[in-house]
Every structure is written in structure tokens, then in C-alpha cells.
Structure 1
Amino acid sequence: MTEATYQTPTKPKAAAAAMAPKFGDDPNSAVDAQAALVMRKGFLDDVIDGIQMGLIAIVLISLILVAVFSDSLPVLYPALKPLYAFIGSIPSMLTRLPEYVLMIKDNLPTTTDEALLLMKESCHQFDQLLNSLPYKECVLVFSWAIYLWEAKLDIRQRDRLHEVRRPATIASFIPRQAYLEANAYGLDKSSLSLVKNAFTQIQTTVIILYDLTPWLWYAVVDAVEDFTGYGPEYEITHSIVYFIAVTLISTALSLPFDLYSTFIVEKKHGFNKQTIGLYVTDMIKTLLLTAFLGGPIVAAFLWVIIKTGSQFYFYAWALMAAVQLLAIVIYPTFIQPLFNKFDPLPEGELRNEIEALASRLNFPLKKLYVVDGSKRSGHSNAYVFGFLKSKRIVIYDTLINQCSTEEIVAIVGHELGHWKKNHILRMLTAVQIQTFVIFYAFSRFVGERRMYTSFGMDTMPVLVGLIFFQYLYQPLDSLLSFATNVLSRAHEFDADAFSKKLGFSKPLASALVKLQIENKGIMNPDPLYSAYHYSHPPLVERLNAINDPDVAPKTE
């Protein structure tokens, strides 16, 4: 069906019946109503605009004050004297930058002994830095810097979601109604995310400023000692109880947002299929699994650290690597069936086509399941799991309802591309490298008493030290997560190319479009937002790669 070209609506309501089509086939169409909803900026958008204008005004006023009263500011506000000194030193630092570069170049080690000496001196200086670091202040700065950066990305994405014009690159295959519905869904999720993130940031700031982490730790220690007689020497026992307490508190604080997301946002846009009873049952199961599985893992982790001393990072990494590999095995086999029903895919064309594809690729297919994803959500998925010669393919029933047999087989071809190209092993390796870096860095901080005292602790429990370290680690964690997303996006392009070479170019492209529409995925994301957050490339980029003539259309 041919769609009307977008035109700017005229204002007089009396001429509504006579004016040209705006977004749909007539002035009062459902498309027009959806477009008006998407364009409308509500209270939250006004708050965002007000905050941005306020920040701009503060920056301008600050610059004027510095320019006019630069000599008097240290006297008027002596507490900010270090900040003024730093700002004042920036010009000289910039002019001396070539000198610094030459100095570094002249002092670069030329022999192995010099390199080892430089490394030893650097480690010594780093240890001295740890002894003098203002930990609480650093945590607050890191936390707010990352929050403001991500909030800015969220606002950029929100501005994209308010657009009603489809980009020319997708206008030919994405109906206007579907584009607007996806943006409306994205706006509702964006509103909830902005409020939740602001609440979480304020919550984190309050916890840090008022030393609530140590307060909870000592409350747990006192309670355990009162009820069991286990004193401070039973750190592992206290840590397990503390872990459970933190889990319960975190669940309670996030519950209102999760309920709103599930029963308001998801239901409004036709995705939620859960009842309150099922939701509560799932939450209880999750909490019980967290306690019964998480408790022993925490105990083993702490025992390894306590027993292996300063070299614990290697043993702790080995333990967590084993836990992660075990989780990959037991989660789909023992844990996920607690929440979903897995049935063998019925005999028929779809099963025959998938089995033929698996045989063609020598994929060791042991089981082919369909899972009742529609029990909870209208979203769809398919995945491959298993080790060595025991592989399983799982297809959501929602995917079967949304796509044709050929399209589903093309999606399975994409998933088998991940297996064929060893993407799962590569991602596991990347995760293990990241985990090792975390534990090594943690080993340098865990014994620093100043880190604990700056947060109001007079003891040094390892689990609490890990919580403090996670705050410090946030900037590096963001960079590593971004790097992981870059690798994941490269794998998605590679798997698409694999499916295309199998001869599924057209059905894969049509399946991606169909799933984007069915799942109301964002059609035109902000480039910076998607680069930072998305583990999968945007739809247009994937379609462009699939249509790339440099990729062979088919290989037998």
C-alpha cells in the first residue's frame, strides 16, 4: 500500500477535513494520533530542558566570575583554591606539552634491566598513591561523571525518539505506523530509565555520603553474633548473610520500577503476558536461587582469597571461570526449566529444514526445543547452547508465530554462524580477560586500610572491600564493556554474513525487519548511544552489510 508523504499540518482546526494528509491517509487517522503522541514533549522533557539550560547558565556564570574575579576567588572561596590552581596551570601545561613528550621519550628504557627498574619504581609510586588517595571523593566523582555521561546519551537517544519522519534508508520497508509505535515504546522505556537512573544515582550518593555500607555490615555482624554467637572471626558467615541482606534490599528498591516496567510499559505496548501471581512466583524462585547458589559461591570466593594471600587474583579468577563455565552448562538444563517449559519441536517442515541445515554444517545437534516464551512476553528469540558433541537449539514460540519457516531457518543459520566462527569461545575469552583484570586490580586495593577508613570502616572485610572497589572500578568497567560490545557487534556482522553465504540473504533480511517491527525495536537510534550501549548493530547497518555485493551470496 502506498503511504502518503509527510506534510506539516496546518493549524486551523476548522479546515481539518479539507487539509492535505499529514502522517496517514486522512487527518484523523491512527497514524496521525500516534505521530502526535511521539512528538509531544511532556513534563519529563521540560525538566530535562530546564536542567540543561540551568547547567549552561551555571557554566557561563562561572566563566564570567573566573574572568572578572580570578585574583580574588581564592580569598573569597578558599576551599576551592586547589581547583583554581589547577585551572590556572592548564595553559602552562599545554605549552610545555612538547617538553613533557621529549622528557618521556628520553627516559624510555632501552634495556631489560631499565624496564624492570622502571616497572618497580612505577609500582612503588602507585602504592604510595593508594596510601594517600581520597577514596570517597574519587568514588563520588567517578560515579557522577559516568552518570552524567550516560544521562547525556539517554537524552540524545530521547531526542531521536521524538522524531516522526522515517529516515530515507528505512522508509521503503518500515511502515510509518510501525516506526511511530517503536518510537512510542522507546519513549516510555526512556522515561522509566531516566527516572530509575536518577533515583539509583541519588541512592548511591546517599549510601556513600552517609556510610550506609559499613552501617549495614556492622548491623549484620551484630545480628549474627547475637543469634549464633559467631563473632568477627567468622567473616565468611557474616559475608554470606550480608550478601543475602544486600540482595533483598536491592530487590526491594528496584521492585517499583520493575513492576512499572512489566505491568505498565510492557503491557501498554502488548508485550507483557505475565500475571501478578506468575511475577511473584518468578521473583521468589530468583531470590531462592540467589541465596542457595550465590551464598556458596561467595563463601568459596572469600575462602580462596583468605587462603591464597597476595596472589589470590589468579586463584579467584580460576574459581570464577569454573563457576561461569558450570553456569553455562546448568542454566539452560536445570535453571531455565524452572521458569519456562521446553518441548521438542514438533515434526514438520520447520524441524526437517533445521535438521537438514545442522547436518549440512556437521553441527552436532542433540535436541531441538521450542520454549513457551509467550507465557511471559511477546518478544522473540532463538539460541544455541551446549558443549562439545552435545548441542541444543532453542526457538521461542513467539518466533514461530512471527516468522515463516524460511526466515526461522535463516535465523538459525545466523546462530550456527556464531558456533562455526567460534564466537562463543571468543566472547568467553574476552570475559575471562576482563574478569582477570578486575581481580588483579582488586588485589592492589583490597589491603589498603585507607580505602576502608575513608568510608567509615574500622575493619577490613573482603566482601565490603570488593563493593568499595567496584565503585572505583566504574570508569574502567565502562571502557571494557564498550570494548565487549564492539566485539559482539563484529560477531553479529560475521554471523549474518555466514547465514547469507548459506543462501539465506533475503529471508534473513526479511526476518530482521519483521522482528524489528514485532519487537518494536528502535529503527533510528542515536549513533553515539548505540555505539556505547548496543551489543547488536542497528537494523540499517545489518541490512546494508547483508546487501553488500562483496559478500558471496552462497556457498555449498
Structure 2
Amino acid sequence: MWPLYDFVLDLPAHLTSLPEYMVLVKEYFPRSLEEAALFAAVASSWFGDMLHRMPYKGCVLVFSWATYLWEAKLDIRQRDRLHEVRRPAAISEFVSRQAYLEASAYGLDKSSLGLVKNAFMQAQMTAIIVYDLTPWMWTTVGDAMQTHLGLGPEYEITRSIAYFIAATLISTVLSLPFDLYSTFVVEKKHGFNKQTPGLFFSDLAKNLLLTVLLGGPILALFLWVIEQTGSQFYLYAWALLAAVQLLIIVIYPTFIQPMFNKFSPLPEGELRTAIEALASRLGFPLKKLYVVDGSKRSSHSNAYVFGFFKSKRIVVFDTLIEQCTTEEIVAIIGHELGHWKKNHVLRMLAAVQVQTFIIFFAFSHFISEEAMYQSFGMDTMPVLIGFTFFQYLYQPLDSLLTFASNVLSRKHEFEADEFSKKLGYGKELASSLIKLQIENKGNMNPDPYYSAYHYSHPPLVERLNAINDPDVAPKTE
């Protein structure tokens, strides 16, 4: 059996043998350039041979189920916390028993739906792999193109776009029952949903249309670049995707999001004056200040900053204006401006680019690996299908990188909180976080492992402890 497959199955034994492995590493570690070159050549040869003999389908199933069981274990740990009826001491002073129980009930309902959905998705993925449904669908799309359009196998990019559209439609249909239940049962039960069925399906149609109109051409360009650039395609594909991501960041808030929400200038008054004064104080190049009708769909609230260079915009949800005082909203804006001041958006964007480069570089070692395609039932090697199979293999590493991204994001949130506190808004920021946690029925009692793995924002108690840290003195600037 393939060595890495054995390694995964025997992982506990390998962990207990780490001391012996370290001795071997020290003994055989290259001590000259010649030894390093020889080691690299041997490792490259071993890796190439390993790819030829790798049981791809078995590895994907092992990795997939290991990830699923790990995340299910975390979900169960979190459910145990949500079943606790006694408030944690850390929040008992500012969260009523009623608010705590309502938040726990909301969390349990979302958790129950998530467990069912995740089990369904895992079963679906297993069926796709075991029964070779991806090759079947690729063949079905190709046969339909040949029969109705007269387009043969040489039109791989056109076929890939048709496959992409078909897969998107199937995925949407399969996830639709869960989305409907989440919106019209869970969210409605807990007082959050404001959508009508008409608005829900209108949003769904717009999303599908945008996916096809934007995703199709991007996919075609992506496949064309790979076709034209040979073995070093990963450099060009990475550059292309980076450019596309920047373009989406620019056009999404200006052209796409207004298709779903109404953005109006924030009316003159105390709030607008206070936000503009804060922006001026920090040298923030504020060009537009909007209020968005978030209440059209949900009573959840938010505020954010977007824009590049000297054209920045601040958006405040109407629900946030209803739930918080002027001082608390300004404290939240101070937090958001902290992200701008400390270049957090650019840092996260750079982290995404590193992750994207790793994905494409790793894919370059699998794209022409015939054994991978054959393992999943393919008798040809289309790029899109190869990338799909590679993503299955990449899943464990992707989980680790997502975890690392969440760690970085939580660090940024602490820094932005500290920035708002140093502006003199520590008390107001703390009270706004408490209000929003209660209003949004956020998790009041997170399991530490669950939150560490899933959360991009620190839990409420950790944020309040950091804000109240006497070593971080507030100051006015």
C-alpha cells in the first residue's frame, strides 16, 4: 500500500516515535551543497514515484472522513456547552439569564441544522467519489454538447464552462432545502429573518446569474492561461486570480452589492457629524458615508469600511443605528478604522495570495498525473476535473491554512479593539459589543477548541478582557 496512506493510518504510532525520527533527521541532515543537491534529487524522484502509485481515491476518503469526524467532534463539544443552563461567571454581570438562554436556544437550532447539513454533504461527497459521479457528469455534458451543438472533445474550455454551470445548478438545488429551513424556520423562529419568499428567490436568481456571468468568463480565462503557459502555469494562474480578486474587491461594493441592498447617504445629524469628525481626526480619506437597509433581510447588524487609496467609504447598517447609541457606533467605527490604520485588509489579502500560490504550485505537480485521473474513473485529463480532484487531496492542508487565517484574523480584531480604546472609546466599545452579542444572540459560552478552530473573531469575554486590560491605557489623539 502507498506509504503516505499507511502513514495516516499509523499516525498514533508515528507520534510516539518522534524522538527516534529526530535522531535520524539529525544524522542524515545534509551538511554540504553537494549532499543537499543529492537529497533534493532523491526526494524528487521518490515524490514522482509516489504520485504514480498513490491510491488517490482511498486517500481522499480517509482525509475527508478524518476532517468531517474532527469537525463533528468539535460541534458536539459546542452543543454540550449550549446545553448548559447556568450562565458562565464571566458574563453573568451584563447578560441576563433570559438573554443567555435565548442565545443558547438559537445556537442549538443552528447547530442541529449544521450537523444534519454536514452529514448530508459528507455523504454526498462520499457518493461522488465512490461511484465516480464526476466522470459520469463530465461525459454527460460532453455527450449533450456533441448531440445538440456538434462540439467534440477538442472544445475542452467550452465543455468545462458547461460543466461548471451544471455543477453550480445541482449544488444550489441540493443546498436549497437547508437554506430555506435556515431562513424561514431557524432565523424566523428567533426573530431575525425579514425576507419574504419572493425576496429570497430573487436573491437566489441574482446570485446564480452573477455566478454564471462572472464565473464563466473567469474560468475560461483561467483554463486558457493554463493551456498556454506550460509547466510554469502556476505563476500565471496565480497572477490572474490575484488580479481577479482585486477587481472583485473594487466592483463588489459599488456595482454588485447595490443589486441586493439600498445604500443611502447617512442623514445629517449627530451621528454623521461624529463619524466625520473621527475620520478627520485620523486623516481617513472619507469620500462617502452610507446607511444600508440591512433590515430588509435580517435584524443582524454590522458596519464596515471599503475602498482603495483616497476614495474610502463607510457603511453603517440601519439595524446598528437602531440598536446602539451614537457613541457606541462611533466606537465601532473606530474599531473599523483601526483595521485601516494597521493595514489589516492588505495583510489578509497578502495571506490569501500566499495561500493561493501554494494551491497552484502544488496543483502543478498533479495536473499531468495520469494515475490521479484514472483513480477517479477518468479516461481523459481535463484541467478543470483535475483541479477538482486535487482540491479533494488538498482538503487537510486547506483546513490548516484556514485555521491559521482565523488565528491572524483574531489577532487583528484584538489590535483594532485596542486602537478604538486608545482613541478614548474603550467603555463605549465594550458596551456596544455586549449589546450586539445580546441582540444577535451570539454564542455566550463557546467551547475553547471549537472557537479556536472556527472563529475569525475572538469570543466576547476575551475581547472584553483585552479592552479592560489596565496595561492598555486609553489616550486621546
TM-score w.r.t. the length of structure 2 is 0.97
Tell me the CA shift for residue 95 of structure 1.
8.7
Tell me the CA shift for residue 446 of structure 1.
1.0
Distance in structure 2 (CA, Å) of the matches to 1:127 and 1:176: 60
Residue matched to 2:68:
147
Residue 94 and residue 264 in structure 1: after superposition, are their counterparts in 2 closer, same or farther (change >3 A)?
Answer: closer
Tell me the CA shift for residue 359 of structure 1.
0.2
Residue matched to 1:534:
455
Tell me the CA shift for residue 456 of structure 1.
0.6
Matches for 1:98-497 after TM superposition, within 5 Å: 98-497=19-418
Identify which range, 131-140 or 108-117, moves more after superposition.
108-117
Distance in structure 2 (CA, Å) of the matches to 1:112 and 1:408: 60
Tell me the CA shift for residue 475 of structure 1.
0.3
Counterpart of 2:461 in 1: which secondary structure? Answer: helix
Q: Which amino acid aligns with 2:321?
A: I
Structure 2: 5+ residue runs without aligned partners? none
Residue 526 and residue 92 in structure 1: after superposition, are their counterparts in 2 closer, same or farther (change >3 A)?
Answer: closer
Distance in structure 1 (CA, Å) of the matches to 2:8 and 2:58: 19
Tell me the CA shift for residue 92 of structure 1.
9.2
Residue 529 and residue 88 in structure 1: after superposition, are their counterparts in 2 closer, same or farther (change >3 A)?
Answer: closer
Structure 1: 5+ residue runs without aligned partners? 1-79
Q: Which amino acid aligns with 1:502?
A: L
Tell me the CA shift for residue 102 of structure 1.
2.6
Q: Which amino acid aligns with 2:379?
A: D
Residue 466 and residue 349 in structure 1: after superposition, are their counterparts in 2 closer, same or farther (change >3 A)?
Answer: same
Q: What CA deviation, in whole Å up to 9, does each residue of 1:209-238 have, x standing for no partner?
A: 100011000100111121211110110000
Residue 366 and residue 200 in structure 1: after superposition, are their counterparts in 2 closer, same or farther (change >3 A)?
Answer: same
Q: What CA deviation, in whole Å up to 9, does each residue of 1:31-79 have, x standing for no partner?
A: xxxxxxxxxxxxxxxxxxxxxxxxxxxxxxxxxxxxxxxxxxxxxxxxx
Distance in structure 2 (CA, Å) of the matches to 1:391 and 1:220: 45
Residue 368 and residue 125 in structure 1: after superposition, are their counterparts in 2 closer, same or farther (change >3 A)?
Answer: same
Residue 185 and residue 124 in structure 1: after superposition, are their counterparts in 2 closer, same or farther (change >3 A)?
Answer: same
Tell me the CA shift for residue 90 of structure 1.
9.2
Give runs of ≥4 in structure 1 deviating > 6 Å: 85-96
Tell me the CA shift for residue 97 of structure 1.
5.7
Tell me the CA shift for residue 124 of structure 1.
1.6
Distance in structure 2 (CA, Å) of the matches to 1:429 and 1:102: 37
Tell me the CA shift for residue 113 of structure 1.
3.2
Please tell me whether Structure 1 or Structure 2 has the larger radius of gyration of its CA atoms: 1
Residue 156 and residue 310 in structure 1: after superposition, are their counterparts in 2 closer, same or farther (change >3 A)?
Answer: same
Distance in structure 2 (CA, Å) of the matches to 1:99 and 1:255: 52
Identify which range, 310-319 or 88-97, moves more after superposition.
88-97
Tell me the CA shift for residue 110 of structure 1.
1.8
Distance in structure 2 (CA, Å) of the matches to 1:361 and 1:376: 33
Distance in structure 1 (CA, Å) of the matches to 2:39 and 2:8: 30
Residue 255 and residue 318 in structure 1: after superposition, are their counterparts in 2 closer, same or farther (change >3 A)?
Answer: same
Identify which range, 304-313 or 97-106, moves more after superposition.
97-106
Distance in structure 1 (CA, Å) of the matches to 2:19 and 2:241: 45
Q: What CA deviation, in whole Å up to 9, does each residue of 1:147-200 have, x standing for no partner?
A: 000000000000100011011111000111110000000000000000000011
Q: Which amino acid aligns with 2:352?
A: V
Tell me the CA shift for residue 98 of structure 1.
4.7
Residue 91 and residue 181 in structure 1: after superposition, are their counterparts in 2 closer, same or farther (change >3 A)?
Answer: closer
Counterpart of 2:410 in 1: which secondary structure? Answer: helix
Q: Which amino acid aligns with 2:246?
A: L
Distance in structure 1 (CA, Å) of the matches to 2:51 and 2:197: 49
Tell me the CA shift for residue 118 of structure 1.
1.6
TM-score w.r.t. the length of structure 1 is 0.83
Tell me the CA shift for residue 334 of structure 1.
0.2
Residue 457 and residue 497 in structure 1: after superposition, are their counterparts in 2 closer, same or farther (change >3 A)?
Answer: same
Residue 106 and residue 359 in structure 1: after superposition, are their counterparts in 2 closer, same or farther (change >3 A)?
Answer: same
Q: Which amino acid aligns with 1:402?
A: Q
Distance in structure 1 (CA, Å) of the matches to 2:351 and 2:12: 40
Residue 259 and residue 98 in structure 1: after superposition, are their counterparts in 2 closer, same or farther (change >3 A)?
Answer: closer
Residue matched to 1:20:
none
Distance in structure 1 (CA, Å) of the matches to 2:292 and 2:461: 29
Matches for 1:13-32 after TM superposition, within 5 Å: none
Tell me the CA shift for residue 116 of structure 1.
2.8
Distance in structure 1 (CA, Å) of the matches to 2:104 and 2:11: 44
Q: Which amino acid aligns with 2:423?
A: L
Q: Which amino acid aligns with 1:493?
A: F
Distance in structure 1 (CA, Å) of the matches to 2:310 and 2:125: 46
Q: Which amino acid aligns with 1:513?
A: I
Tell me the CA shift for residue 117 of structure 1.
2.6
Residue 192 and residue 94 in structure 1: after superposition, are their counterparts in 2 closer, same or farther (change >3 A)?
Answer: closer
Residue matched to 1:8:
none
Counterpart of 2:379 in 1: which secondary structure? Answer: coil
Distance in structure 2 (CA, Å) of the matches to 1:139 and 1:252: 25
Tell me the CA shift for residue 101 of structure 1.
2.8
Distance in structure 2 (CA, Å) of the matches to 1:95 and 1:544: 38
Counterpart of 2:365 in 1: which secondary structure? Answer: helix
Residue 193 and residue 94 in structure 1: after superposition, are their counterparts in 2 closer, same or farther (change >3 A)?
Answer: closer
Tell me the CA shift for residue 103 of structure 1.
2.7
Distance in structure 2 (CA, Å) of the matches to 1:476 and 1:554: 42
Counterpart of 1:340 in 2: which secondary structure? Answer: coil
Counterpart of 1:170 in 2: which secondary structure? Answer: coil
Residue 231 and residue 94 in structure 1: after superposition, are their counterparts in 2 closer, same or farther (change >3 A)?
Answer: closer
Residue 284 and residue 97 in structure 1: after superposition, are their counterparts in 2 closer, same or farther (change >3 A)?
Answer: closer
